[in-house]
Chains A and B, each alone.
Chain A
Amino acid sequence: MTMDLKQFLKTLPAFENFKAADLDVLSEQMTVSSHSAGHVFVAQGRQGEAMYLLMDGTIQSVHVDEATGTLEEARDLHAGEMFGLLSLIEDMPAGWGATAKDAVTVAALSRAVFNQLFGVVAPIAHHLQYMVAVQLARDLQIRNKELRELLKQRAVGTPA
């Protein structure tokens, strides 16, 4: 079954305020593909290739605490959710990994295409930019927390 990305976008609350014509342009810029369970879309600590919109199936998104090496958080993403947002930023390793939990269909938006969106469908580009800023802010909070934890660990072992 071929999924219609244009129609799918129009059902998403995150895109409900955009003109149908703008969503059509966005859908033409994204690449739809299907993958089997276990496919790794994003590896934590590595630059991702694209931002993805999950159209069908389940993605497991995980974050490993870099200070302790333990699994800090794991969450399942479902149809309509996006992941790999920081792939849209140059030289920005991912803070979360993302792996297909079962068979999935995704729509991908590469960084190069994202940068072109500002000249084509600016409202949607700004919306995605806002989401990137939010993700960066959340990741910075997590990273600073891990940095604090490491500082605390080092401080504990330091003679007065």
Chain B
Amino acid sequence: MNEEFEQKFSLWAAALGPANVNSLLAATSKLELPANRVIIRDRMPVDSLYLILDGEVSITVEENGKAIKLGVIGPGQVLGEVSVLSGEQQASSTVTSLTPVRMLRLRHQAFEDLIAENYAIASVLLQHFVDMLADRVRASMKSFSDLKEGKAPPPQFDPTETLPPTGKNWIKSFFGRVPGT
């Protein structure tokens, strides 16, 4: 497990060091899911962070029975950070597995305990989340600005529509990075 984590989350592993990687991994549990499984549902409670080790998931937001695709993410990326940090414990998007996925699940309480008890882990995780969230806020602002100026197509899809292949989702490049969950 350590070897795969260090490979997929290389920056975290380098910054944390072996002892803190062990502490972090000890607080997680493994989760394996088949393709086409809803992992997080838009506006429903979320109680965990998910660290993706393998596979790909799609991100969508839902409005009035329609879904807007936001992108596709994979190994080395995290889900659920917005809900834990905002304190609302509520998803702001739907996450669905596109392929079989393997993830590490870190429950919110375990995450809060870790960052309260271990400054090294707190520093690495919080800096990562601040950088990631700042990028996502900037991306969201740029998307908003571009859309307002008519630079992007109006993306409205039926949620049952087949998801596009990875890397061909227009909004993935539009956002640069996927807005958080």
List residues of chain A with CB under 8 Å of any chain B CB. 66-67, 89, 91-93, 95, 118, 122-123, 126, 129-130, 132-134, 136-141, 143-148, 150-152, 154-155, 157-158
Q: Are B154 and A158 in contact, CB atoms less than 8 angstroms apart?
A: yes
> Does B110 sit at the interface, judged by CB under 8 A?
no
- Interchain CA distance A140-B141 in the complex, whole Å: 9
Report yes or no: A141 in contact with B130, Cβ–Cβ below 8 A.
no
B137 touches A92 (CB 8 A): yes
The 9 nearest A-B residue pairs measured at CB? A137-B85, A136-B133, A155-B156, A137-B86, A154-B154, A143-B140, A158-B154, A137-B82, A129-B126
Interface size range on B against A: 35 or more
Flag if B147 contacts A151 (CB, 8 Å). Answer: yes
Contacts of A123 in B (CB 8 A): 119
Q: Is chain A's interface secondary structure helix, strand, loop, or mixed overall?
A: helix
A144 neighbours in B (Cβ, 8 Å) = 61, 92-93, 140, 179-180
Residues of chain B contacted by A134 (CB below 8 angstroms)? 85-87
Q: How far is the CA of A93 from the CA of B93 in the complex (A)?
A: 24
Q: Are B130 and A136 in contact (CB under 8 A)?
A: yes
Query: For residue B128, which residue of chain A has the nearest CB?
Result: A133
Given A140-B179, A148-B61, the answer on whether A89 and B154 have CB atoms closer than 8 Å is no
Within 8 A of A (CB), among B99-126: 115, 119, 122-123, 126
14 contacts between A and B (CB under 8 A): A89-B130, A91-B138, A126-B123, A136-B137, A137-B84, A140-B137, A141-B92, A144-B61, A144-B180, A147-B143, A150-B147, A151-B63, A151-B156, A152-B64
B residues at A contact (CB < 8 Å): 61, 63-64, 66, 68, 81-88, 92-93, 115, 119, 122-123, 126-127, 129-130, 133-134, 136-138, 140-141, 143-144, 147-148, 154-156, 179-180
Q: Does A148 contact B180, Cβ atoms closer than 8 Å?
A: no
Alpha-carbon gap, A154 to B115, bound state (A): 42
Name the distance in Å between A46's Cβ and chain B's nearest Cβ: 12
- Inter-chain contact A148/B119, CB cutoff 8 Å: no
Chain A residues within an 8 Å CB radius of B68: 148, 151
Closest to A149 in B: B63
Instruction: Give the CA-CA distance A157 to B143 in the complex, in Å.
Output: 19
Q: How far is the CA of A31 from the CA of B57 in the complex (A)?
A: 47
B115 and chain A: residue at smallest CB distance? A130
Q: In the complex, what residue of chain B is closest to A145 when comparing beta carbons?
A: B92
Contact pick for A151, options B92, B136, B155, CB 8 Å: B155
Chain B residues in 8 Å Cβ range of A143: 137, 140-141, 144, 179
Least Cβ distance of B141 to chain A in Å? 6
Q: How far is the CA of A41 from the CA of B93 in the complex (A)?
A: 33
